[in-house]
Structure 1
């Protein structure tokens, strides 16, 4: 029995990732240049602390499926069709795997995630927009 066959979140995450064609930071950047949608699901405090990936769409995790379902009544304009390539970005690449799998389950087979998340993007030296100061 492999670790992926066991109970718990680590085994579940391993099983989920078997169904994803995960990308590294440079691949994510190239995919975005080719039209993929980068979706940042990090919570606000992390975005304020670390900044943003230029061009990434910010969607809170609890709204992700509703905002990206092309048939949904609450979809974003970027949710143009089920053939959309979506690369989900979280802080370190854990929650994004689960989110990408959820998007696949609602009919977005081109959903995947960024290995290592935002931290891997930044570590690769890719562009990051400085966090905007909070209003006073």
Structure 2
């Protein structure tokens, strides 16, 4: 029960981070906490995170774009990790497949990032999305 209420908070946090689109001083801290929480939740409580998987993908992509614009490597890597983890959630494959072309197209642009680490991660995540069936 507590995990389900935590998911609601994390969904609202993710939406708020993306919709604010303001790179305020606290923005990075908030996004950092929200993404780290999603990464952990998608590993330890897959059954609770799965119903939200398809609806979260556009938000993770938006955060990728926002982080690329401010060249925040750590947040970019965390958003890429979320995009990778969401493909492994049980029952999320169908929703992910529907968004596959959008994600692959977006990740192709991330392969031009100035950071070698981000480029490597983007290629890995793009490859994972490309093999979704």
Structure 1 and Structure 2 fold alike (TM over 0.5): no
- Structure that is richer in strand per residue: 1
Q: Give the number of the structure with larger relative contact order, counting CA–CA contacts within 8 Å between residues 6 or more apart.
A: 1
TM-score (norm 1): 0.29
- Structure that is richer in helix per residue: 2
TM-score (norm 2): 0.29
